[in-house]
Copies of this chain bind each other. A is one copy, B any other.
Amino acid sequence: MRFLPTLERKFRRWKKLKKPPLLRKLDILFKSTHKGQIQEDNAKRAQRDFGKDNKNELSYRTRQQFMSNGTFHEAVGSVLLTAQWFAMMPLRGVTAKHPSSLRFSWRYVRTCCCLLFIASMLINLSLTIYKVLNGSITFNNIRPLIFKSCIFLVCGKALSLARQWPDLMMKWYEIEQDLPQYQTQYEKRRMAQTIKMVMLVGMMLSFAEHLLSIISAINYASFCNRTDDPIRNFFEMTNDEIFYVLNYSTPLALWGKIQNVYSTFIWNYMDIMVMIVSIGLASKFRQLNDNLLKFKGLHMAAAYWSERRIQYRNICTLCGTMDNAISFITMISFSNNLYFICVQLLRSLNTMPSVAHSVYFYFSLFFLIGRTLAVSLYAASVHDESRRPLRYLRCVPKDSWCPDTMRFAEEITSDMVALSGMKFFNLTRKLVLSVSL
């Protein structure tokens, strides 16, 4: 079946076992409360009592901070914070509890940093174009050009996305509040944990790949040393587009290196961005599905179905809005990954100059393929989850079948809810096959 979610689930189960005692206590307490007193009045009282009981352990404020409300805004906070260190998504209030604290302004220091990086990127891109046009144009030679143009485009788009972000998060928040809520801390934290895990794994692998690329470059530089200085050799090789035009100087070399590191981060970040939005959307659908599953096959009132249908519609609208916002990044990410896989496969026919190169090359190839597959599968999960309510609608008993259920079923059947690459292609599991053919 689906590896990634399965892996996640296993990982989560293992984490569950070793989750901090406090959290487990909160959950167990809640569950027992929930079981004993189903009536709402009682539940409220339980909440109050539960507040009282824990008072001695930790103050109300600390607990409030500690407890998650399970919103996407909250889950994505640290991811955006990391991005800001790499000149992307310049926003204030990303780690705030409520999305209304999000602010974008051209006057913030982080926005200026971001613009500065884009300007520096533009200079680097011009140098690259100059070098490429002076050589012969082949599928392989335009690689740095394609790489840097993509980074440049994504940076620009990320800036415009940052401007939209506060509105998007407010919309998301409103829709989230309207959905049937999870009861336990564990369920509320699930999405945030998945997002953090994806970010962490993605960044670590990307870091490993960058280290390997440096090692193989040093290795190569020591072979064909144009000058006596090994550090200079290394920089002249990795930033050949700069020293093709300008003379060597240490500040330029450092600038090139920083540019390089940032580019590598952004190159990975655009894939992570798509994955994270996908995880967010899929988990909202799952939240609805979990509620439907709970009442599967039972005799529910028409109002229940009508309400669920409206909630489903809201998530679909949200999905469309997010798709509009990030589909350009999705497009760039996909075409970029496909181009690089093709280039790498072509290069696999060449002989490797050293073991370091060989290790770097295969690691890089498998990392690329894995990343592309991960993006595809996470993005496809939005579509898969959006189709799931159909399964529960099929089990609605005969006498609960009403115009509302019929309308709900018809809408799911006929709508195509999925992230897309600028509407040119929808990200579903079928796409993976048709691309690989």
Contact = CB atoms under 8 A, between A and B. Distances in A.
Nearest to A305: B398
A398 B404 contact: yes
A423 interface: yes
A328 interface: yes
A320 to B, nearest CB: 8
Interface stretch (A82-90, A254-262, A408-416): A408-416
Contact of A424 (B398, B424, B430): B430
Contacts of A355: none
Interface string A300-339: 0000001000000100100000001001100000000000
B401 A401 contact: no
A366 interface: no
Contacts of A406: 407
Nearest to A351: B136
Contact of A1 (B324, B395, B407, B413): B324
Interface in A353-406: 384, 390, 394-395, 398, 401, 403-404, 406
Contacts of A429: 423-424
Contacts of A403: 401
B425 A306 contact: no
Interface residues of A, number: 32
Contacts of A401: 403, 407
Contact of A394 (B313, B390, B423): B313
Query: How many copies of this protein are present in the complex?
Result: 4
A252 interface: no
A433 interface: yes
Interface string A60-77: 000000000000000000
A422 interface: yes
A191 B79 CA distance: 44
Contact of A411 (B394, B422, B424): B394
A122 interface: no
A202 to B, nearest CB: 23
A394 B313 CA distance: 7
A432 interface: yes
Contacts of A404: 398
A313 B297 CA distance: 12
A398 B433 CA distance: 40
A422 B2 CA distance: 7
A313 B414 contact: no
24 contacts: A1-B324, A1-B327, A1-B422, A2-B422, A2-B423, A306-B398, A313-B394, A316-B394, A384-B423, A390-B414, A394-B411, A398-B404, A401-B403, A401-B407, A406-B407, A409-B414, A410-B410, A410-B413, A413-B414, A423-B429, A424-B430, A424-B432, A424-B433, A425-B430
Given A313-B394, A409-B414, A424-B430, 7 more contacts: A1-B327, A306-B398, A313-B395, A316-B394, A394-B411, A401-B407, A406-B407
Interface of A: 1-2, 306, 313, 316, 324, 327-328, 384, 390, 394-395, 398, 401, 403-404, 406-407, 409-411, 413-415, 422-425, 429-430, 432-433
Which 8 interchain pairs have the tightest Cβ spacing? Answer: A413-B414, A424-B433, A423-B429, A425-B433, A306-B398, A424-B429, A313-B394, A1-B324
